[in-house]
Structure 1
Amino acid sequence: MKSVLAITDDTVLATSVIVNALQELGNGDVANCDSQIITQAFSLNKLPLGASSMDVVISICRSAFPSDQMLEEISRVLKPGGVIFIHKTSQSVAVEKDESPALVRRLLIAGFLEAQETEKKIVSPSEVENLVIKAKKPSWAIGSSFSIKKPAKILPKIQIDDDSDLIDEDSLLTEEDLKKPQLPLVGDCEVGSTRKACKNCSCGRAEAEEKVEKLGLTSDLLENPQSACGNCGLGDAFRCSTCPYKGLPAFKLGEKVSLSGNFLAADI
């Protein structure tokens, strides 16, 4: 048995209006409906009904009824998935064109779904203007939460081709690269510290000996430098004009004098 609530801003509402409304709205057998009527509902702040107790609520009004507060009350007494019909009539003044969209917005803001204008007429067809708005209460409770199952992302399978073409490293080598390198002939210049440079010296010892000869130094003076005045090892600033070590860097007496690689290179 369906429970139906009819509310109106009029003082009196005929039961035949409710019967006609249920028949027009296609709510099945009217005899199996438990109907209740509340008149002058605009004076109420709260409907005297329990929460989620009505299947259908029919609002019949001539003024700006129902208010936003009354829409909250209607939503409270409606069962989840319940339907509300708002029927507004006007005998003397035509219904404004923008009144239907405004009422639809109010229903959506109040939490109803599928709010839209319908062509069904609830009251007598003698009325000049009729406006019927239908809406539905959500089947879920306001403030409820539920988890959304995200679809699992399946990663594409990567086909590994073991027979893929690989570059042969040997193919990158040329004939010149494959030839065995010819190592330079090892001379005897490095054999012994007192050996002189050979005729075909290529290690640089011949050039070093030429530098020493230009300075007038013997190998003994370089291997074991001595100084009669004691100033030869201090540098050119302390050496006399005939000093054999003139031009050489400072050194310690008794230690071998080593020449740098850029000894004869120009400073400028």
Structure 2
Amino acid sequence: MPTAIINSGDQILFVAPSTTDQQHLLDAKSAFQSQVGSDGNVAFEAMERVPEAPLQNGTYNSIHSNLVFPSVSSHTAQALSQYLKALKPGGSLYLVEPVVIADLSNTSCPITRKESDIVSMLKLAGFVDVTVESSTAVSDESLIDFFHAWGVTKRVDQAVSRLSGKFGTVQIVAKKPAYEVGKKFALNFKKKPVKVEEQKKVWTIAADDDDDAELEDEDLLLDEEDKIKPSKEALTRPDDCEMTDGRRKACKNCTCGRADMMDDEEESNNVVTLDLMDETADDEIVEVDPTPKKVGGCGSCALGDAFRCSTCPYLGMPAFQEGERVTINAGMFASDDIDI
């Protein structure tokens, strides 16, 4: 049996298969009751009934399951979950279970679990500090008792020889976390108010713990020349552009803005004048800029409609050369050709 820590006044649950001899249960109760004293209590439950048993939450200091030898019962996930709920926070579970300790070849056995499988089940159920106290092989003499517990009566010697050294028991101790599963706590995210005195301290300047230290006068950091207000002429950028044909020409890598101004003037001068001659109306002069506007892949508007997109402003106009004066007869825009 696993080494159990039992204190006076503890509440203990003892779980065993329903096939366990009654005298073994009475002996176990007497042993546990003598340790918990009159203030404690020892309760019994059949292992087969644990998944549906009405066990009260957070009741027992320790649970001792399947400790009677020989036992061929296995713990289910539902039973382990019930144990976790019934234990008090920090309570302990002591269990014993038959396991396979070696790979079985050409041999069938009702027990297929290994030690690692039970440890994983306990951790998945929510137990912590899972410790394997012992894992030992069952002797051939004890194997006969296990086969009798399984109800095997024929060819027992042959079955024992096949499982010899491959079948054993494992003793494990696990604990419930030191908190109740599902318990809720309120988290306070409200910031503490800052006192006015503490806010003022943020802007307090300490000069090497010297209260009498003087700060530098900012006016002394300026010279007399720094205090003189600059004149408008001093702030005006000198016009050092080169003169060409009586005009100043932008320098290479111009940074004063004259290059941008000259580009704007050239675009304004690059205009084609169209005379719309109408026999019944006065002449009208419409000024348009025939320079192709490069939008997307556009750029061949001057070549005619075949090279113009659907949104081209020169759609319907004849081809032209940049800077050419184009004269168009207004008759082509007669009202009878236009649907209104």
TM-score by length of 1: 0.45
Whose radius of gyration is greater, 1 or 2? Answer: 1
